[in-house]
Chains A and B, each alone.
Chain A
Amino acid sequence: MSNQRESGTGETTYREAIRAAIREAMLEDPRVFLMGEDVGRYGGCYAVSKGLYEEFGPERVRDTPLSESVFVGAGIGAALGGMRPIVEVMSINFSLLCMDQIVNNAATIQHMSGGQFNIPLVIRMATGAGLQLAAQHSHSLEVLYAHIPGIRVVAPATLEDARGMLATALEDPDPVLIFEHAGLYNRPGQIAADAGAVDIDRAVVRRKGEDVTLITYGGSLYKTLDAAAALAEQGIHAEVIDLRSLRPLDEATLLDSVRRTQRAVVVDEGWRSGSLAAEVMARISEQAFYDLDAPLARVCSEEVPIPYAKHMEQAALPQTETIINTVKKCFGDRND
């Protein structure tokens, strides 16, 4: 049992699955190291790296000063220098302090150098709301990064993906950003004893259905699955797609589903304006417009900085009820 816990299989949590993935990568490849604020002695601000400092020591689990720009930049440099760094940024809000390094260096050096250099770097960070952490710790800004050519952006929603995306990301020759939804860290579950690397290229159908396609990712997956279950009881069979990769988007999986169901609702914890949802909808309209039986719809966060008070925070976020109601509207409000 404790063995299983260490390997992040069997009965585990999202947090433990990520930790197991980091541990495994560090055991397998001496070039891999973890670097970030309080990842070591403190054990990680979300306790993801707890115990790794004790196991691997301060050289490979490096506590950095509060200097997002230089430690992300140093991750880029270390990757150029032959290492396989995993850089943890405490939260996506703080990643704005190192956005320069990500956007201006990590994403561009391969291109600016005419293909001479590539940057095998993984950056992990927590995203999303739901923990009452208010407006500087709760935002879903993934779309800012999904906008940028030259990096890959993934969002594990399931325990299997939390366990398996890191290894694939480390294999990737290019920078990969992994967005871990803060609300998922405690999520318990079972994963197979042989769970391992998973692809980071494809979206996955998490629930089959033929009436409408619900497209989501990260922390919103479970609300969406709950909505689909509730809708099924009312006779609407929703297919639920987990994007998994936010850049590149797996259009084939989306379009295949939408062409069958002829309706689509996108659920995205980001704000509606300029959202990832907007991009998904645009691609569907560009390529499957004539297959649609209803206007595309989306459920996003309300356009306010995420409030602290619980009821207000919840009111700002996509909720199962909202998803259900939005889906029903695609069927001409027939249940209203």
Chain B
Amino acid sequence: MTTVTPISQAHALELLQGMVRIRRFEEKCAELYSAMKIRGFLHLYIGEEAIAVGVMQALRPEDSVAATYREHGHALARGLSMGSVMAEMYGKLEGCCRGRGGSMHLFDAATRFFGGSAIVAGGIPLSVGLALADKMQERANVNACFFGEGAAAEGEFHESINLATLWKLPVLFLCENNRYAMGTALERSESETDIHLKAQSYGLKSEVVDGMDVIAVEQAAQRACDAIRNGEGPYFLEFTTYRFRPHSMFDPELYREKAEVQAWKEKDPIKLFSQKLLADGLISDTDISRIEAKVQDEITAAVEYAEAGQWEAVEDLQRYVYSERGHHE
């Protein structure tokens, strides 16, 4: 912790606020889940915030993002408004997807956020295709695709990395290795547990990054995006991380020791980062309180927005199955 933080105060505050925003938002979501305001599956990202926040720094508006069912953090970091995400979780018309998607299926055309996929590895081919479209139309965009380490066991993971590398497509593969796929530890599902090595075997650049260190994440993402925009083809980043909460709200967490969870909580990306910034004298306690207060206000407003939202009319049930030209049954 002796190194001086290599970023400006403004940027440090931005990163910190980005992570705090996700953390507090999701804590609120857990509360609202217990209050039965939010239903269905709810997968919290708590503990992993540094990854979404760090990666998004390297992305531009023209780039695309695809993620999994654990994507609240990615959606917020990408720029979806907290109100529209909260309203979506409430199932309200004001939600980013009119309440049709819910927690696991956040989409947003304005920020090129392509979900929200609840099929493990199922979103990866989409990024490959978006990248193909970019390449064929000669656009130097990056197509960022987030997934967990559990996805590495699926065929779509391998098919996607192979094809993207073979065709030199601008895909940024982002593996959030939180060590468990639901209750299955990585060692219990993979013969080779080094995911970045698996990826590397397809011949693309691949790195392991400390996913609890937002600056390390940002720098790695920047390196990767530079290479991709430079026409070097896809890039793979594996982030070591940990989810502090159960897999979903239904998980009794029988598969891991409390001591292990505790040990990882010591590496809390928000705690570590704020301590570092304080130690470096880059920010003060007042800055932190100000961030917390600001985020609280945003959350309060988001909840009010969701509460005040409307339920989509049941007469509209058949909409958004086909494009609206009235050709469907």
Q: In the complex, what residues of A have CB within 8 A of residue B143's CB?
A: 77
Contacts of B97 in A (CB 8 A): 112-114, 116
Asked whether, in the complex, the Cβ of A69 is within 8 Å of the Cβ of B320, the reply is: no
In the complex, chain B residues 161-206 whose Cβ is within 8 Å of any chain A Cβ: 162-163, 166-167
Known: A174-B322, A174-B323. A81 touches B328 (CB 8 A): no
Docked complex Cα distance between A74 and B105 (Å): 19
Output the nearest chain B residue to A80 by Cβ-Cβ distance: B130
Dominant secondary structure at the A interface: mixed
Q: A70, A72, A101, A104: which has the most chain B beta carbons within 10 Å?
A: A70
- A117 pairs with B107, CB closer than 8 A: yes
Stretch of B112-120, B236-244, B247-255 at the chain-chain interface: B112-120
- C-beta contact mask, A65-78 vs B, less than 8 Å → 1, else 0? 10101111111111
A116 lies within 8 A of B107 (CB): yes
Q: Judging by beta carbons under 8 Å apart, are B166 and A65 in contact?
A: yes
CB distance from A252 to the nearest CB of B (A): 11
Q: How far is the CB of B55 from chain A (nearest CB, A)?
A: 19
Interchain CB contact under 8 A, B325 and A150: no
Q: Which residues in A have their C-beta under 8 angstroms from that of B108?
A: 116
Output the nearest chain A residue to B110 by Cβ-Cβ distance.
A116
Is A310 part of the binding interface, using a Cβ–Cβ cutoff of 8 Å? Answer: no
Whether B136 lies near A111 (C-beta < 8 A) is: no
| Nearest CB in chain A to that of B160: its residue | A70
How far is B131's CA from A85's CA once the two chains are assembled, in angstroms? Answer: 13
B266 near A: Cβ within 8 Å? no
- A78 near B101 with CB under 8 A, answer no
- Tell me, in angstroms, the Cα distance from A81 to B105 when the chains sit together: 19
Query: Which of the residues A79, A83, A112, A248 comes within 8 Å of B329, measured between beta carbons?
Result: A248
**Size bracket of the A interface:** 35 or more
CB neighbours (8 Å) of A173 from chain B are 322-323, 325
Contact among A74, A113, A149 for B101, CB-based, below 8 A = A113
Which residues from A are CB-within-8-Å of B324? 115
Choose among A78, A100, A118 the residue that contacts B132 (Cβ–Cβ < 8 A): A78
B11-19, B40-48, B70-78, B121-129: which lies at the A interface?
B121-129
- Per the 8 Å Cβ criterion, residues 270-325 of B in contact with A are 319-325
Contacting residue for A111 out of B100, B119, B132, CB 8 A = B100
A105-B122, A112-B97, A117-B109 known; A74-B323 Cβ under 8 A: no
Is B67 in contact with chain A by the CB < 8 A criterion? no
Q: Which residue of B lies closest to A67 (CB)?
A: B159
Q: Is A249 an interface residue (CB 8 A)?
A: yes
Name the residue on A nearest B323 (C-beta): A173
Question: Can you report 19 residue pairs joining A to B where beta carbons are below 8 Å apart?
Answer: A65-B166, A70-B124, A70-B163, A71-B159, A74-B125, A74-B126, A81-B134, A101-B122, A104-B119, A105-B119, A105-B122, A109-B115, A110-B322, A113-B107, A114-B99, A115-B98, A173-B323, A174-B322, A201-B327
